[in-house]
Structure 1
């Protein structure tokens, strides 16, 4: 039986004067295809209720350990957040932003886990690994 997760994902990204709003929206929906995107004064605000496609990208790119580090670094209670590079996202690639924000600004993702808990959801999205491969808890 699979666990049902109840999550709220809020995604924000600045839209600079030199950028096309639709391209910034595309960067968001490339990584979060089910997100509902709204344009608001100089930024994109999107909401989603799952991270399945994002999780698939993490598996495909083999960056589960990097993702787990980013998620746990800013875990506060039932919420965790992380930043992504906008240009990479436009190409459909997950690239976590660390350090100073890029010149164009980063995509900020905030995830609130309503059920069951944040740690379990992180394990679902980016499972622990051994030798770079996800660990199957049933083995």
Structure 2
């Protein structure tokens, strides 16, 4: 059970982009996000990652997600970046390397309870042969 998770989402909005469409990209993966418009960006807060976790499972990219979370993990949480255009289509595509010219969706997850590792295991469980491992079967 997840008790205390704060998710902050920041995404740049370029002059050539429609703000509502950028907001839709965020809400496709994080539907409960409350977005506010700041100069040149949308910033949002949410407390749930269910839809995002569902997409990771559906796309069978749990191992990729775990690697990305581990890259920017500390005792308080973890961060990752997503491609805006893929998110607009409801697809999780982690941003690696140079940022996209339109900017990436930056996601910062702060975990109060459970632990950071327990939350990561909940969102993107460890796998064996590409399938989530049931902890009760270990």
1:6-48 CA distance string (max 9 Å, x none): 1000000000000000010000000000111111111000100
Kindly indicate whether the alpha-carbon contact (under 8 Å) linking 1:5 and 1:121 is maintained by their aligned counterparts in 2. Answer: no
TM-score (norm 2): 0.98
1:126 aligns with 2:124: yes
Q: Give the secondary structure class of the aligned counterpart of 1:138.
A: helix
Q: Structure 2: state its 5+ residue gaps.
A: none
Aligned residue pairs total 137
Aligned to 1:5: 3
CA RMSD of superposed structures (Å): 0.6
TM-score (norm 1): 0.97
In structure 1, C-alpha distance between the alignment counterparts of 2:23 and 2:106, rounded to whole Å: 13
Q: Give the secondary structure class of the aligned counterpart of 1:23.
A: helix
Aligned to 2:71: 73
In structure 2, C-alpha distance between the alignment counterparts of 1:49 and 1:96, rounded to whole Å: 20
Q: Structure 1: state its 5+ residue gaps.
A: none
Aligned to 2:102: 104
- Divergent runs of 4+, >6 A: none
